[in-house]
Chains A and B, each alone.
Chain A
Amino acid sequence: MTASIAHGAVEVGTELPAQSFPVTRATLVQYAGASGDFNPIHWNEKFAREVGLPDVIAHGMFTMAEAIRVVTDWAGDPGAVVEYGVRFTKPVVVPNDGTGALIEVSGKVAAVLDDNLVRVDLLAMSEGKKVLGMARAVVRLA
């Protein structure tokens, strides 16, 4: 465990560098293969519309995987994450227009805990909508 950020260097309100993550249909096909989640709502527009969705949507777990990168890139050591949870509030709609969608993630330190731990609260937005709720990670700093 060798996070590159010192516990003493952060305080409540410390902002982590925000990042934007593009997602296209090709991204979703690749993620489906890597994760084993082949639910057609993530690649088949006809199927997605038939079950009442506006279009193909990104896997919630894909969005969850992107959001934590704000924490792991900041901390340096991805294994320093000791807890991570989210609520899937709104889908990330991915149009078939060659551009796709953008997931914009910011985070800030919400609590400084004992044992070199901090809690980071994440905000993940797409098309102006909050796509994750209660997105929180606890990470062990140096």
Chain B
Amino acid sequence: MALDQSFVGRTYPPTPAYEVGREKIREFAEAVGDTNPAYTDPEAAKALGYPDVIAPPTFVFSITYRAAGQVVQDPQLGLDYSRVVHGDQKFAYVRPVRAGDRLTVTSTIEAIKTMAGNDIVDIRGEVHDESGEHVVTAFTKLVARAAEEA
């Protein structure tokens, strides 16, 4: 069933701040097997010009995806969450996420399309730090696959 186009442009309230911890960055870097010292050694990060360890580029998704949940679980929109798959993901960085950041995400529905019975929702998540500085924008395309014939 086609989703309501009037939701395009809807912006959800900013999420509560997520505090990025050094050990959480380390845990993520270890999980993806990335040994770049900029993720774990503050001195190595400082040598690159950063005030503290930085996070791998895709780390921020765990924060923006949770924020996109506001859209996915909006009962008024009525997306069938059990059929949702991740279609595309893109990030535009102003600066890397780093330890000590307190990040909030503001999600906006950019587009809603229906193709071959699949509902496709584009969500833009703007990530800001505590001082209001723009850090990164996450563009997430979610596809709710068409229900199969019973």
Contact = CB atoms under 8 A, between A and B. Distances in A.
Contact of A66 (B32, B88, B139): B32
Nearest to B61: A61
Contacts of B33: 21, 27, 66
B48 A77 contact: yes
Report, as a range, how many residues of chain B touch the other chain: 35 or more
A100 interface: no
B61 A82 contact: no
Contacts of A60: 86, 89
Interface stretch (B91-99, B102-110, B124-132): B91-99
B36 A64 contact: no
Interface residues of A, number: 33
Contact of B92 (A82, A87, A134): A82
Contacts of B5: none
Contacts of B62: 35-37
A64 B38 contact: no
A66 B34 CA distance: 8
Contacts of B50: 79
B56 to A, nearest CB: 6
Contacts of B10: none
B31 A81 contact: no
A34 B30 CA distance: 9
Contacts of A98: none
A33 B30 CA distance: 11
Interface stretch (A7-15, A67-75, A121-129): A67-75
A37 B88 CA distance: 16
Contact of B32 (A2, A65, A84, A86): A65
Nearest to B24: A34
B117 interface: no
A83 B30 contact: no
B87 interface: yes
Interface string A86-108: 11100000000000000000000
Contact of B56 (A2, A27, A77, A78): A78
Interface of A: 1-2, 21, 27, 30-31, 33-37, 60-62, 64-66, 68-69, 72-73, 77-79, 81-88, 134
